[in-house]
């Protein structure tokens, strides 16, 4: 099941997006609706709210006075945090129950205003942020919901900023235009990314890169680091319960600012023992995060020539997202292959001359080889010399893997 978290500031239009995704076939769970359910009369959460905030937030009929509670918590961060601590566990349990009821081969949408604030985005395959500028949102809240302007501004200020949401967003939908514009954007996202992504998860198919080298290798892109940070965070969260991971790092050419590269993010997962990757819970964690094992790749090319090949063993996985190609290299912590991945990255980051020399070699090979596969193989001789120069740099500077 493809998990999509939908969020946005109050008044941004995220509910409109979730509703349209539901019309297209997604199984939608609305956090606001769940939040209302867990504070209904007879629910233990309501009693805890009463104990914390007093009888003034309870109506004469015993139901929650939402306006009175909002007047207390939205201007006061401490009070809002206290409310979240009461309602959060109950909401999480019910959300999990409702999401598990969705079809295993479909798209599960979690409409959650606090997806960013609570760090829940790391458990979603994609985070979708709906945006509209603050003044537009204030106007909508006043005109469409009847909120006093001061109340509307308090609610907006209590949530994450636009910059904080964009930092974790895989998709940003601009809702500053017409409702029809927003629907068209959602429909395009559904057909071009969400449906193919969900199909890849079901079939266990990793997304493919272009085979023509000229189409695959591109100039540096400003979003590589932010995309990689999200991949790293999600993998770390998914694998943490297994207790086998030592670190998750962005490596490879896309981790070096200013270096042209294949538009494929390389991520290294360091593990205590490579055999741990064959455990059922570890394999299930990778699959749940959206990564598929490749059974034909089990090692890197040893360096220097003649080195022990067992020190370069690894497990290799590819991501299922058709719009974000990711290669995951699982290596044993402390192995030669693990060390070189980190050294190569740091060496090129700190030595612009070497970075530029590598870029020149890439351009030379692109002119000679038309396919990505041939291009990758042709780079290996250059790596032998790079391994020697990188290690000399490490000795000279005292570099150690972090």
The answer on whether 12 is annotated among ligand-binding residues is: yes
DSSP helix/strand/coil, 251: strand
15 is in an annotated binding site: yes
Q: Is 11 annotated as a binding residue?
A: yes
Residues 6+ apart with CB under 8 A from 245: 236, 239, 269, 270, 271
Residue 110 C-alpha from the chain's centroid: 15
What's the DSSP call for residue 191?
I
Beta strand pairing call for 126-131 and 107-111 = unpaired
13 assigned binding-site residue: yes
Closest CA to 269 of 304, 240, 296, 306: 240
- Rounded CA-CA distance 252/101 in Å is 40
Q: What is the DSSP letter of 399?
A: -
Dihedral sign from CA coordinates of 378, 380, 385, 391: positive
Question: SS3 of 24, please?
Answer: helix
φ and ψ at 209, to 5 degrees? Answer: -95, 165
Q: Between vectors from CA 3 to CA 40 and to CA 193, what angle results, nearest 5°?
A: 135
Buried-exposed string 84-116: b where 16+ CB fall within 10 A, e elsewhere: eebbbebbeebbeebbeebeeebbbbbbbbbbb
Please report where in the chains the tokens 């201007």 appear, as a residue: 75
Find out whether 310 is annotated in a ligand binding site.
no
- Which tokens go with 96? 């999990």
Q: Which residues carry a binding-site annotation? A: 11-16
Q: Which residues carry a binding-site annotation for ATP? A: 11-16
């Amino acid at each position: 099941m493809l998990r999509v978290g939908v969020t946005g500031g109050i008044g941004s239009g995220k509910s409109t997006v979730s509703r349209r995704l539901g019309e297209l076939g997604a199984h939608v769970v609305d956090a606001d609706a769940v939040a209302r359910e867990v504070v209904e009369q007879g629910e233990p959460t309501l009693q805890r709210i009463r104990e914390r905030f007093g009888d003034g937030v309870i109506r004469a009929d015993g139901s929650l006075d939402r306006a009175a509670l909002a007047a207390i918590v939205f201007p006061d961060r401490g009070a809002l945090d206290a409310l979240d601590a009461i309602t959060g566990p109950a909401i999480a349990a019910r959300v999990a129950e409702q999401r598990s009821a969705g079809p295993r081969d479909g798209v599960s949408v979690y409409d959650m205003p606090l997806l960013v604030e609570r760090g829940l985005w790391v458990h979603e395959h994609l985070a979708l942020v709906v945006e509209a500028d603050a003044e537009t949102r204030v106007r909508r809240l006043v005109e469409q919901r009847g909120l006093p302007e001061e109340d509307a501004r308090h609610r907006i200020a209590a949530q994450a900023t636009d910059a904080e949401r964009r930092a974790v967003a895989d998709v940003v939908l601009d809702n500053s235009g017409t409702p029809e514009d927003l629907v068209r954007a959602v429909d395009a996202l559904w057909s071009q990314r969400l449906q193919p992504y969900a199909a890849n998860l079901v079939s266990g198919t990793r997304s493919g890169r272009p085979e023509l080298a000229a189409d695959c290798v591109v100039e540096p892109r400003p979003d590589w680091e932010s995309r990689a940070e999200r991949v790293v965070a999600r993998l770390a969260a998914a694998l943490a319960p297994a207790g086998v991971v030592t670190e998750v790092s962005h490596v490879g050419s896309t981790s070096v600012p200013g270096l042209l590269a294949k538009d494929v993010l390389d991520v290294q997962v360091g593990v205590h023992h490579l055999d741990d990757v064959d455990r059922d819970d570890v394999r299930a964690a990778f699959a749940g995060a959206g990564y598929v094992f490749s059974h034909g790749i089990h090692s890197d090319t040893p360096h220097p020539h003649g080195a022990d090949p067992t020190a370069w063993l690894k497990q290799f996985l590819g991501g299922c997202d058709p719009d974000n190609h990711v290669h995951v290299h699982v290596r044993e912590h402390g192995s030669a292959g693990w060390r070189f991945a980190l050294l190569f990255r740091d060496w090129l980051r700190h030595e612009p001359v070497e970075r530029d020399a590598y870029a020149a070699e890439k351009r030379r090979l692109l002119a000679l080889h038309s396919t990505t596969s041939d291009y990758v193989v042709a780079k290996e001789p250059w790596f032998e010399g790079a391994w020697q120069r990188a290690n000399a740099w490490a000795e000279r500077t005292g570099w150690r893997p972090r």
